[in-house]
Structure 1
């Protein structure tokens, strides 16, 4: 799905940034690729005010959005850095927009993402759901990836009851993934 507002805004943003950049004699520090929180701190220490002129996506908190474009201008308020932010998740997942795992940014994000292997998720489900002596097994669609709102489906046979569940990541903290589990809808 294409976000038409973003698709139309990008060329206008590029023109505005190109025009604004030529109006400032000394350039702001290059902060493209940094989070908004890091960029704001660097710009503030250099005497610039960060001004967000475009935001794409909305899966992360503004402080964690990544600066994708930068321009500079002099205004009555002083020196300003005009910023475009990408607020999608660092790595795309099922139903979660973000960087492709095949892109350089996606590969870096994937390497940093916490995950629980498919085998470990299956073992955990069997031990948590099977209480009787009968046959038990679990089969999941993949690893549980530490990206909030990402999910996997797992079919579990426990105590002669076969059920398909959806596990949805709710939080990642200190290398641990928290998730909700519920019947697949």
Structure 2
């Protein structure tokens, strides 16, 4: 059995709250932005998000579910034909609540709830991958071909890495030189 929302209802009983939220949702979809109290805006947000999700589906069953909440065919038509295509690429977060201070008469905290209709910009994941891909290209350049002026301009960390690479190359060359005469001496003794 569904349990009612904890705390006081907006405006009275649960039926009145349901109608009040439906009217706020209709006004939000009609005007794209409304000013109301913070409490009403916070209670409206999940309802409005759910209705926009239904509108994104766009089928007849979704339209009838939205009509059962809002009841105004013109508002539902606007939601399905104008708002849903604008938020089709957005995975969620169709509304934005901005606090605007207190009301002059009763000092109630006010907020503006609006639809987020701007196109979605993708995250900058490609930019992070590009420098990582460019780094191995810089490491592939041979150390011997680099002019001395460029080596002097490199940072201490780069110089340390280069000197380690040069040291490893020198050790490998020395081992080869030591092994080559030893192999030649072994061949001479066997003959």
Task: Kindly name which structure, 1 or 2, has the bigger radius of gyration based on alpha carbons.
Answer: 2
Q: With the length of structure 1 as denominator, give the TM-score of the two structures.
A: 0.23
Which structure features the higher share of helix residues?
2
Q: With the length of structure 2 as denominator, give the TM-score of the two structures.
A: 0.23
Which structure features the higher share of strand residues?
1
User: Relative contact order (alpha carbons < 8 A, sep ≥ 6): 1 or 2 greater?
Assistant: 2
